[in-house]
Amino acid sequence: MTQTFFVEHIETPTGRMRIVSDDAHNLRALDWDDHEPRMQDLLRRHYGANAVQLRQASHPSAAARALLAYFDGDLDAIAKLPTATNGTAFQHTVWSALRTIPNGRTVSYGALAAQIGRPKAVRAVGLANGANPISIVIPCHRVIGADASLTGYGGGLHRKRWLLAHERGERPLFDEPRQGATP
């Protein structure tokens, strides 16, 4: 069965974003336009090939308004946004735990694994984190390496760096990676 989701775009300090919601106003996917192939891949993985049809939204959603408020400094604007996505029970456990990390704070993959009661599942937590289709709202950018280093982020490390600084109340500058450079 094909599901219809609605797509809209917003301009942010970190680039143009694509927001995907369903008709019940649940956020289904969120990523930057320059990472659309990643979003399409995650939608296929979570729902199946050709199982999602995207239509242009007719008016701004609550998710779009909340994300714009977040980028404008109201960090709590996205806290209560309803989300829905397919995934395994383990992925949903990790994604729920991610939403409990306070703004501006970070945790390691190991600490997150321990928090969900699976201290040996550090790699699986990393994989679930990477399979998160709803960036920022399910704040996978708040997970760092055991040595406190910034580790991979689907939107690029330059965005992860910006988001963390923004959440700490700093006035971050957004530096896009140079062409051919690794973000």
CB atoms within 10 A of CB 182: 7
Domain boundaries, the chain: 3-78, 89-167
Q: What are the tens digits of pLDDT across the range 56-74?
A: 999 999 999 999 999 999 9
How far is Cα 34 from Cα 32, in angstroms, rounded to an integer?
A: 5
The CATH number that domain 89-167 falls under is: 1.10.10.10
Per-residue pLDDT band at 97 (split at 50, 70, 90) = very high
CATH of 3-78, one of 3.30.160, 3.40.1130, 3.30.70, 3.40.50: 3.30.160
Active site residues: 140
Mean of per-residue pLDDT scores for the chain:
92
CA distances to 31, 62, 129, 143 from 161, rounded to whole Å, are: 16, 26, 17, 12
Q: What are the tens digits of pLDDT across the range 118-177?
A: 999 999 999 999 999 999 999 999 999 989 888 888 889 999 999 999 999 998 777 766
pTM of the model: 0.90
